[in-house]
Amino acid sequence: MPNYTAPVEDMMFLFEKLRDNKNYNELEKYSEVSSELVKDILEEAAKINQNLILPLAIAGDENPAKLENGVVRTPPGYKEAYNKYIEDGWVSLSCDPKYGGQGMPKTVSAFFDEMLSATCLSFKLYSELTIGAYNCISHHATDEMKEKYLPKMVEGKWSGTMCLTEPVCGTDLGLLKTKAVEQSDGTYKISGQKIFITSGDHDLTENIIHLVIARSSDSPSGTKGISLFLVPKFIVKDDGSIGPRNGVSTGSVESKMGIKGSATCVLNFDDAVGYMIGPKNKGLSQMFTMMNLERILVGIQGLGLSEIAYQNSLSYAKERKQGKTNNTKSTNGADFIIEHADIRRSLLNMKSIVEGERALCFWLSQQTEVSLYHPDEKIKQEASDYVSLMTPVVKSLFTDLAMEITSDAMQIHGGYGFTKDQGIEQLYRDNRITPIYEGTNSVQAADLVFRKLSNKNGNIINNFMEMVKTECASKSEKVQIFSKQLEHYLAILSKFNDWIADKSKEGKDDVSAAANDYLKTLGYISLAFSWIKVLEVSFKEYDSNKDFYEDKINTAKFYFDKILPRSEYHYKSAISGSSNIMNFKFN
């Protein structure tokens, strides 16, 4: 089993030193969230993840969730761990106190999400979708519906799902076949089949609240005719108690490459009672409240798995002896592999990416809170635009790089990495879904270049770049060395923006073929921006904690020298165009 130590020191560094968003710090609702409180939360989170959740990863991989007599059974230990998990209030961490939540900001809950992703992604998914459903209901449902369903979901006694995909449609939801027929009492009868439903059924909670998109019988075709419905596994009575079983059944549980402890279900809806959330035919925009949150969380999943892969690779490299280096330190014929240049390169690749991602995610968490709660509408909109821009970047780049990092971790472990003994190959398998679900990374890249670079409020990407340039210009002399390097790549991104704008007028193939390269160029530059913020603090605070800040400065140097140049490669690849791709004759 892999070992894991939650990176609480790095998380607290971010919370204490990089909580520099003026607009975020103006949010009155978080004025009492002190460093002392956050440290207490993270230390307790570390304990439950390291001691209780981590062992569940192998248990779920060796004993996957399975369907027995119409009921999905979770792996050994899941029930007991889940009961302790909700007893300690972890589901409620970021939820509104009005419904029994603790009201912590995403600047805190994102750290907990990372820990859970690192220790057991399969277990995490049972509560993660609950929080997504909670957010959707709290934003779009009636007060009556909120009062009826949210307290139990916040408590963790009831869970939630997101039911979109069908056999006939994945990303293209306009093709969905699930029907909703209105009844005389205002409810709907929902009929259809949904596939790949994470946590679609299980034995951890008393009830499961499904959020289902369907088409009303009098609605138009395509995405304009999609509505959103709340469909409970068990009907909830007026007094809040659980009534009879609804018309929802599990057809099967998928046999998967990874995250085997998570129940990925085929769900059949047969005249199931459903309650419409929000206006008719507006379901897709409502569901995106949940989907956009999930996309950021999927990026955090990649970050968490990258962290545990790095920790175990570093530990193994310090213990394993193999071969001699040019400046051998061995007296018995072999050096520890951490002395080899290529192993050190791989480890620094991991470390510089992971710490940069965590810093970028913390910046994005502040922007998210501002976009939701700041009283100034203009400030809210600017933050919302940044969140919109960065959502596909975080989802795609973090998960793609997690594939690289978990693969490198297997390589460092050699033959032991390929076997099940160390648990490293499971990290690779568990992460493999993250570039696929919640919209594949290619879909995210297309969404970025065709929809997110600008909107009715203006040119978002230019606003982002100007913000980065302004921050870079304000940094100290020692940071300016790095800022000038970043300015070179910002100039490349600017040329890339112009190329995208120009090619968009002529035809979509060139832009479509370049979308993944564009996302990565923007992503690597965004990570460099987060490192600039870290460096400013590191030089300023250097004498207060020399070992910690020396480590940060040297890790940043590696990132700027070895990782950031990838962004230029992606630009050069993209502007070669698509003619060879589209004209190639496949035999």
| Residues with Cβ within 8 Å of residue 478, at least 6 apart in sequence | 535, 539
Q: How many residues comprise the chain?
A: 587
Residue type (1 letter), 324: K
State the virtual CA torsion across 213, 217, 223, 229 in degrees, nearest 10.
Answer: -20
Asked if residues 133 and 277 have their Cβ atoms less than 8 Å apart, the reply is: no
DSSP 319-365: H-B-S--TT---SSS--BGGGSHHHHHHHHHHHHHHHHHHHHHHHHH
Tokens coding 577: 């165009």
- 264-277 and 248-253 as β-strands: parallel, antiparallel, unpaired? antiparallel
Question: CA separation (Å) from 583 to 185, 503, 505, 510, 579?
Answer: 57, 18, 20, 12, 6
Q: Is 507 exposed, middle or buried (0-12, 13-18, 19+ CB in 10 A)?
A: exposed
Tokens coding 527: 């990570």
Q: What is the DSSP letter of 474?
A: T
What b/e readout covers 441-458, taking b as 16+ CB neighbours within 10 angstroms? bbbbbbbbbeebbbeeee
Instruction: Catalytic residue, from 80, 438, 471, 506: name it.
Output: 438
How far from each other are the two terminal CA atoms of the chain, in whole angstroms?
A: 45
Q: What is the CA radius of gyration of the chain?
A: 24
Return d(Cα 201, Cα 216) in angstroms, integer.
Answer: 25
Asked if residues 8 and 43 have their Cβ atoms less than 8 Å apart, the reply is: yes
CA angle 28, 32, 35 (to 5 degrees): 125
Residue 438 known to be catalytic? yes
Q: What's the per-residue H, E or C state across 68-113?
A: ECCEEECCCCHHHHHHHHHHCCCCCCCCCHHHCCCCCCHHHHHHHH
Q: What's the per-residue H, E or C state across 499-522?
A: HHHHHHHHCHHHHHHHHHHHHHHH
In the three-class reduction of DSSP (H, G, I as helix; E, B as strand; rest coil), residue 275 is classed as strand
Asked if residues 361 and 307 have their Cβ atoms less than 8 Å apart, the reply is: no
Asked if residues 335 and 323 have their Cβ atoms less than 8 Å apart, the reply is: yes
Give the distance, in angstroms, between the CA of residue 86 and the centroid of all CA atoms in the same chain. 22
**Catalytic positions:** 438
